[in-house]
Amino acid sequence: MDEIKTLKENGAAIIFSSHNMSGVELLSDNLTMLKKGKVVLQGDIYGIRNSFGRTQVYVESELADTTLSAIAGVKTIEKQGAGRLIHITEESVGHDIFKKVSETGYVQAFVQAPPTLDEIFRKEVAEHV
């Protein structure tokens, strides 16, 4: 992998084929996702991720999962490290979550981000089966 990074840094064009989306994200600027030889997604990685919306919120706070799950638009809550990863139906729900966790006082962390390339890959491939 280090050799590929060096080639990239030196301006080489690299065609990289992988199902390991975290590796693709590290090494690639642009992505073409294929399913059975047909293009299902294409573009720069930053643009692709952002086109799916910022539908994940990572939060570290004292607020109980039951309170978080009662917020309209919260789909799932997963324990992740010291906090929780919350999947939401649309970006605007992130504001509601922030408002609620802020009411409890100190918020150690709050990050709203688009889905990972791996999540996008699974979604796009599943939709085009």
Q: Are residues 5 and 14 in contact, defined by beta-carbon separation less than 8 angstroms? A: no
**pTM exceeds 0.75:** no
Supply the DSSP symbol for 87.
Answer: E
Task: Give the number of other Cβ atoms within 10 Å of residue 49's Cβ.
Answer: 20
Domains delineated in the chain = 2-50 (no CATH), 54-113 (3.30.70)
Length of the chain: 129
Per-residue pLDDT of the chain (129 residues; tens, 9 = 90+): 788 888 888 888 888 788 888 888 888 888 898 888 899 899 999 999 999 989 999 999 988 999 999 999 999 999 999 999 999 999 999 999 999 999 988 899 999 999 989 888 888 877 655
